Structure formats: C-alpha cells, structure tokens
Amino acid sequence: MPTLLVLLACCCTPAIFGQEAERLPVTIFGDGSPYNGVEDSREPLMGGRRMDMGHPSAGAIRCDGGVRGTAVVVDTRELAPELKGVVLATAAHVLYDLEKKRRFRRCEFQFLGLDAIDGYTASIDLDHARLGDFDPKKATEEIRFGEGDWAFLYVPKPWRNFRPEQSLPARDFSFARVESFQQSGGSFRLVALDSASGVISETGDCTVIESRSGDLGGGAWSGQLLDDCDSGGGASGGGIVGVLGDQRYLVGIRTGSHWSGAVFSVGNYPAGPPAGSVWDPRFNTNFARAVDDRMLRVLGEFVGGLERDPAF
C-alpha cells in the first residue's frame, strides 16, 4: 500500500498502549470552525493567565527570513547548572531548506511566536548545535526515515522574562509504558506553533502510540511515535509532552504526518487529507521522534560541553 510522508516544517493525551488502535473521529486536522464536524482542541498559551500557570516555554523558529517550525525549551539545570544560555529541542528538518537540500544560514527563536514584541526574539548559535543524522537528500520512503530528525540548539542570550522553571526536563518515553503512569492519570499533549494564529498552542485529548507492524510506520525503528494530536502549520519540532500530576516532561519531538496514497490519492487530495479527517494509524497519522536513552546521552554531552566552553 503506497504511503505519503510529509515533513510539516512550516505548515501537528491519554495514551493507549498494548491495544489495537481503533478508527475514531478525532481532531487530527481541525480547522478552527465549530460548525463543520470534528474540531480541534488547541488552546493558545498566550495571555497572563495561561503564562502564569506554569505552561512550558516554546516558540517559533525563524530561519533565513521565514518561520520554519517550533522549538521547545529544555530544562538543563541538573545537567549543567552553570550554563547561562538556553537549550532548545526541535526537528532537524526545520533547519533545512528542503527544496535546495541545504541548511539555513541564520536562525532565531521567537518565544511564544511573539515576533512583533521587542525583546522576545533571541539568536540561535548554529555553530553550537547537535543534530541527528537527518539527510534532506534521502527519500522519505526509506525504512528508517525520521529516526535522526531531531536537534538540540543553543541560545547564548535568553529572551525577555525567561523563566527556567517553565522549561521542560527531557525524559525517556519508555516511562509512559509502565502501568503506574496510566493508573496515575498520565496523559500526553502537544506544544507547538499554530501558524494560523501565529502563537504557540497546547493540544490535549489525543492519543500517542508506538509504531508497530501493520500501521503506516510499520514499526521500522524503535522510538517512532504515531499521534492524533491536533495541529496546524508550523508544528514541526513541537514537543510531545508527558504529563503526570503537576510534572511535565518532553518525551517526543513532532516531525510530520503521513497517510495512505490508496485512501487519499494525490488526484483527489492534492493537499493531503482534508481538515477534520479521521485519524487511523493505518491510513492517516502524525508522527514523532521519541526521546530515548541515546538522545538523553547526546543532550548531556551537548550541555556539558557548552558549560565547559570558556566562550559561554
């Protein structure tokens, strides 16, 4: 069955594990209208009330003059307590011009997407970045596509009103598999840019599963997540957030969407599944790169090196 994989770089939760995913009318591509069926659950993080509730820091990434996706602020205080700058997590493809197959030259971070407000934009040091092995020249049909689509970036000088307590500690996604996570009411959310409104939103009421044989991901590599977290343009690089009580953890990075070409043919659906489409991991789904031991080791090495660097 042909499948189409799309990187949504500028264009995406109670968990169900150990069960067959059912075909449910969820809110994978809501369009903002409550009058035409399935609707989204995105809630903007802007506004004093929302920002004071401890919601995690995230923002838009702008590279070479255009908004390219989302980045989430990672809590590095335990790993590198003396580090003065800020570390971001995003999808590696957000940093690439996918048509020209090359890296962008300059990138900046706009906290909560607030590019119009002075002081809420900060430069990203692309010379001090750690990326997975994402290669824009490789075909998206390759079996391990998406495994290396992650990046850790460094912002030497934070933006106005940066609050370290709102950053997200990264945690291995495997903790969500344990029975205690589900029994304690653990859930998943997506924090990502909504390009239609231009601000960061949080999505709840959605499902995250690990890919396995029989779905669009085919269980081709460990750490491939499929989710129905509603999102719009700009969600690439957003954070899949595990919530347990009052604690929030970064457990995955949104990388794109893919769907069945047999169900949503290019001839009938040139722009892909329409807004409000039903989620089914066999036919139509978002996907993400789970945080795992390897990524956590890389993060520790990355921030440790920055902390020891006299330039920082």
How large is the average pLDDT for residues 46-60? 60
Q: State yes or no: pLDDT of 66 exceeds 50.
A: yes
Q: State yes or no: pLDDT of 241 exceeds 50.
A: yes
Which residues pair with residue 111 across a beta bridge?
Answer: 59
Length of the chain in terms of residues written: 312
Mean pLDDT score of the chain: 83
209-236 as b/e: b if 16+ CB within 10 A: bbbeeebbbeeeeebbbbbbbbbbbbbb
**pLDDT of 117:** 83
For residues 222 and 197, what is the distance between their CA atoms, to the nearest angstrom?
Answer: 34
E-strand stretches of the chain: 3-7, 42-44, 58-63, 66-74, 86-90, 96-97, 102-103, 107-111, 121-123, 130-131, 151-155, 187-194, 199-203, 208-210, 224-227, 239-244, 247-260, 284-290
**pLDDT of 2:** 54
For residues 24 and 21, what is the distance between their CA atoms, to the nearest angstrom?
Answer: 9
Lowest mean pLDDT among 71-80, 86-95, 266-275: 266-275
Q: State yes or no: pLDDT of 6 exceeds 60.
A: no
Q: What is the DSSP letter of 181?
A: H
**pLDDT of 4:** 58
**pLDDT of 33:** 54
Q: State yes or no: pLDDT of 13 exceeds 50.
A: no
Instruction: Give 251's contacts (C-beta < 8 A, 6+ positions apart).
Output: 170, 171, 172, 173, 175, 176, 188, 240, 241, 242, 290, 291
Q: State yes or no: pLDDT of 106 exceeds 60.
A: yes
| Predicted confidence band of residue 11 (pLDDT cuts 50, 70, 90) | very low
Higher local confidence (pLDDT), 51 or 199 = 199
Q: Give percent of the chain with pLDDT exceeding 90.
A: 50
For the whole model, what pTM was predicted? Answer: 0.87
CA dist list (Å): 63 to 67, 76, 256: 6, 24, 18
How large is the average pLDDT for residues 127-156? 90
Q: Give percent of the chain with pLDDT exceeding 70.
A: 83
**pLDDT of 40:** 60
What kind and span of H or E run contains 49?
A: helix 48-51
| Predicted confidence band of residue 303 (pLDDT cuts 50, 70, 90) | very high
Q: State yes or no: pLDDT of 37 exceeds 80.
A: no
CA dist list (Å): 87 to 2, 122, 153, 170, 234: 38, 12, 6, 11, 20
Higher local confidence (pLDDT), 258 or 69 = 69
How large is the average pLDDT for residues 199-219? 89
Identity of residue 237: G
Cβ-contact 238, 52 below 8 angstroms: no
DSSP H helices, 185-309, are 293-308
